Structure 1
Amino acid sequence: MSRLTNHLLVISFDCLSSLDFPIIEKLPNFKKLLEHASYCRNVETIYPSVTYPCHATIVTGKFPRNHGIVNNTFLQPGRISPDWYWHRRHVKSTTLYDEAKKAGMTTAALLWPVTAKASIDYNMPEIFANRPWQNQIFVSLFNGSPLYQLEMNRKFGHLRNGLNQPELDDFVLESTVETIKTKQPNLMLVHFVDLDSQRHYHGFSSDEAMAALLRHDERLGRIINALEETGIYDKTTIIALGDHSALDESKAVKPNVLLKKAGLLTVNNEGKVLDWKAYCKSCDGSAYIYLKDKNDTKTQEQVWTLLTDLSEHEENGIERIRTTSEAKEKGADDNATFMIEARLGYYFKENLEGEYIDEIKAEDVREKRYTYASHGYSPEKENYTTVLIASGKGIRPNIEIPAMHLVDEGPTFARLLGLDLGTTDGHVIEELLWDHGDHGDGSSGSRNRRDGSSGSI
């Protein structure tokens, strides 16, 4: 299969929503990218629509139950800070970066989820020290490319303020620009989290979220400048995308409080889970209900009765209950016995203490106990789609794709690089791509450079 591009740069702006499109299309750098781009402002996300499953879907073209990343964090009842699906080994299928590496291409990933210990040439994985005895620098170095990360930290580490935003994205930006200029990888995956963080802690349409969109526009401009300065702009395909949207919330729902009252969870005086028959594992806007023994029909019936009784009253925050087969049909984890969906204004927490429902107060958000907006909801929620913008080599200009799915992105990106992800749940969006019949040299005509000149691509 022939390649349509020399360099593929995928920039994930975490939590970029279709509702943001009327804003970003007027910002200078997004506007410039869109001038000769094709795009879809109606990309359906996956279920559950949380960051790690979404990013695994983007690089595999599969639903969570098929690629194995079914949530951000593991089922670890009672652990205050559960471990995340950080490592490549948890992905059950091949990925875009695996296939690129096999084809002899140079690869880079900066804070792209689920890439720890991946075979990526320049890898700065998203992972953090989750044990008291761990050191953040050592954990990062050990799970990525040590020399590369040391180089980026030496040059730009002063920009960071722990995991806080926007400083972390500022560090990622400078590392991205430097990597473009010095490494020129064939495949580059970059993950920015600024917008997602601002929406969580300030609300979907907050001034802070709008300021993050402006910063993202500046970051995009810096990246485009780096491509031009390096001389590979005309050989590059730029993809700017989101992984999910978000919804505002005012109430936190804690099903484990009721499971504990029903005797299905046992805790000690410190609130640590000693044993459990059923456990609610949060995905924020949705939640899995797992049984310790999947064949325990008595507990299953008890939980079903509890959930159905709750769902009959809107103020309890449960919009829908899905069975194992229904969750599987949506692409979610079929190891869960039930999956519950939150009503608008509600989201799920795993807390074991307190009331079943808490009103979210400003103090709770300041202390990061709760948030003002979340994702993880069903793709069926209204105004909950995300976006994809594609520009450059191998991309047809000025095409609007009416609708597509997140699972379609991996196969389409693989086609640009002349790769094959094998059996996927998505398909190549052919309308986006030039094939060699359109232009004998496989190029896609020309697009205006930022300096006003025209470059062949």
Structure 2
Amino acid sequence: MTRLTQHLIVISFDCLSALDLPKLEQLPNFQELFDKAAVCKQVKTIYPSVTYPCHTSIVTGNYPNRHGVVTNTMLQPNRESPDWYWQRHHIKGTTLYDEAKKAGMTTAAFLWPVTAKAKIDYHMPEIFANRPWHNQIAVSFMNGSKLYQLKLNRMFGHLRRGTAQPELDDFVTESTVYTIMNKKPNLMLIHLVDLDTQRHRYGFSSKEASDAIERHDARLGKILLALKESGMYEHSTIVALGDHSSLDHTKVIKMNVYLKESGLIILNNKGKVKEWKAICKSNDGSAYIYLKDPEDVQTKARLSALLYSLVANEDNGIEFVLTGEDAGGLGADSKAAFMLEARQGFYFTEHLDGESIDVISTKDVEEGKYTYASHGYSPEKESYSTVFIATGKGIKPNVEVQSMSLVDEGPTFARLLGVDLGDTDGRVIEEMLDN
């Protein structure tokens, strides 16, 4: 297969929305990217539209039910902070970086989700210190390129403040620039999270979110300058993309409270789960309901009656209920007994205490209990698309693709690199490629 580019640089701006395009078009470095670019202003995300499934779909070309990363975090009922799907081994099948490596290319990834322990040459994985005895830097080292990360931390560690934003993205940007200048990788995957953090914390259209977009423009400028100064620019394809949008909300649906009140969850005297027959796994804008025993027909029938009764009243915040089979048909986890979608203005949590519906207060957000905006919703939600901007080698200039899906990105990237992801759910967007 013919290779169309020597270097593919993919920058994921987490939570970048199609609604952000008017602002992006006014910013100097995004303006430079748009010049002669191929653009899709209506990219359909996947279901559930949360970060780890989304980024896995981007590099595999498959929906979550095929690549296996069906949500962000694991089902661990009594953990206040469940573990995430950090490691590469959670992904079924191959990935873009696997195939690039097999073809003899140099690879790099910075905070790209679900890459811990992956075979990537210059690698800083996204993984958190999720136990009291863990150290953040040590956890990162053990799951990525040890010596290279040590070097980056020695040079740029003064910029970061743990995993706090916007400092973490500033650290990642300087690490990216250094890697471009000194390693010139053939494939580079960069994940920047500042915008997503600000939208969760302050709301979709907040000043803080707007400021994050401007910081992203400055970060993009540094990366573009590094590509030029390194001599890579003329031989590179540069892609800026989002993984999902987000929606503001004012109310929280606590499905586990409903399940507890129905006797399907039993707590001990410390408020922890002692036994459960059914439990909610939140994706924020959507939620899975799992059965402890998938063959428990009686509990499934009770659960079905409860869920459909809740949907009947709009005040409960549930827009629709899917069976596990129907969820699988949309690319989500068919192993769930049911999947629920929140109405606009609502989102799901896994809390076991308090009322089943809670109104979000400023105090709750400041304490980190709730957020002001979330994602995870159905890709069919109104004004919920993301974006794709590509320019450089192998890209036809000034092309607008009317619509595409997140799963089309991986096959298109593979075509640019001259590698093959095999049979995928997505397609190569041939109309933007200069063959």
Normalized against structure 1, the TM-score is what? 0.95
Deviations 1:197-249 (A, max 9, x none): 00000000000000001001111111000000101100000000000000000
Matches within 5 A, 1:49-448: 49-435=49-435
Secondary structure of 2:40's partner? strand
Gaps of 5+ in 1: 436-457
Once structures 1 and 2 are overlaid, which stretch shifts more, 295-304 or 50-59? 295-304
CA distance in structure 2 between the aligned counterparts of 1:323 and 1:130, rounded to whole angstroms: 33
| CA offset digits 1:23-49 (Å, max 9, x no partner) | 101111101110111100100000000
Counterpart Cα distance in 2 of 1:91 and 1:59: 10
How far is the alpha carbon of 1:324 from its aligned partner? 1.2
Q: Map Cα deviations across residues 276-320 of structure 1 (whole Å, 9 max, x no partner).
A: 100000000000000011110111011111111111111100000
Taking the TM superposition and a 5 Å limit, the aligned residue runs for 1:11-30 are: 11-30=11-30
Which residue matches 1:451? none
1:93 Cα deviation after fit? 1.0
SS in 1 for 2:401: coil
Q: Structure 2: which amino acid aligns with 1:61?
A: G
Question: Aligned residue for 1:441?
Answer: none
Task: Determine helix, strand or coil for the equivalent of 2:399.
Answer: coil
Cα offset for 1:397? 0.2
SS of 2:85's equivalent?
Answer: coil
Q: Aligned to 2:49, what secondary structure does the other structure show?
A: coil
User: Which runs of 5 or more structure 2 residues have no equivalent in the other structure?
Assistant: none
Q: Any conservation in 2 of the 1:176–1:223 contact (CA below 8 Å)?
A: yes
Residue 388 of structure 1 aligns to a residue in which SS? strand
Please give the alpha-carbon distance, in whole angstroms, between the structure 2 residues aligned to 1:133 and 1:48: 32
Task: Give the corresponding residue for 1:34.
Answer: 34
1:365 partner SS = helix
What one-letter code is carried by the residue in structure 2 that aligns with 1:79? R
- 1:263 is displaced (CA, Å) by 1.1
Query: Post-superposition shift, 1:272?
Result: 1.5
Offset from partner CA, 1:414-443 (integer Å, 9 cap, x none): 0000000001000000011011xxxxxxxx
> Aligned partners of 2:219 and 2:170: how far apart in 1?
8
Q: Which letter does structure 1 place at the counterpart of 2:86?
A: W
CA-based RMSD of the aligned residues comes to 0.6
In the alignment, the residues of structure 2 paired with residue 66 and residue 134 of structure 1 have an alpha-carbon distance, to the nearest angstrom, of: 32
* Letter paired with 1:290: Y
Note if contact 1:79-1:272 (Cα within 8 Å) is conserved in structure 2: no
Q: Distance between the aligned counterparts of 1:201 and 1:175, measured in 2?
A: 26
Residues matched between the structures, number: 435
| 2-structure distance, mates of 1:63, 1:411 | 13
Where does structure 1 differ by over 4 angstroms across 4 or more consecutive aligned residues? none
1:268 shift after superposition: 1.2
Q: Is 1:52–1:69's contact at 8 Å kept on the other side of the alignment? A: yes
Shift in Å, 1:78: 2.3
Q: Is the 8 A contact 1:45 1:54 kept in 2?
A: yes
1: CA distance, partners of 2:48 / 2:98: 25
Separation in 2, partners of 1:210, 1:83: 30
TM-score of the superposition, structure 2-length normalised?
Answer: 0.99
- SS, match of residue 340 in structure 1: strand
